[in-house]
Amino acid sequence: MWIAGVGARMVFYFAATHGAGPAIARFSVAHHITGPGAWTAALVMMALADVLTRLAVVYLRGRLAHPQHPGPRGTCPGRRRRLS
């Protein structure tokens, strides 16, 4: 997912600087997106959404892989105790 997000931003930049500028300008006018700050904010928010989505997926995968695990303070069931 991270590679897809970074790749999408790179493709957008490449397209914007290699001929798709007029199409992006028409899209901006049609959707009332004014000023370069709006596109900057949109790309930053897209990166933030990418990070938050990745964190949520990693958290959920960890919870689904080990649903009985009590957490960082408890001991994992099935783990052997050391005899001292």
- pLDDT digit string, tens, across residues 39-65: 888 888 888 988 898 899 888 888 888
Instruction: Give CA 59 to chain center in angstroms.
Output: 13
Is pLDDT of 78 > 60? no
Assign 76 a pLDDT band (cuts: 50, 70, 90). Answer: low
**Does residue 37 lie in a domain region?**
yes
Name the residue with higher pLDDT: 18 or 63.
18
Instruction: Give CA 49 to chain center in angstroms.
Output: 5
Count of structural domains within the chain: 1
The predicted structure's pLDDT at residue 64: 84
Is pLDDT of 75 > 60? no
Phi-psi region of 71 (alpha: psi -120 to 50; beta: other; left: phi over 0): left
Structural domain boundaries, residue 55: 2-65
pTM for this entry: 0.52
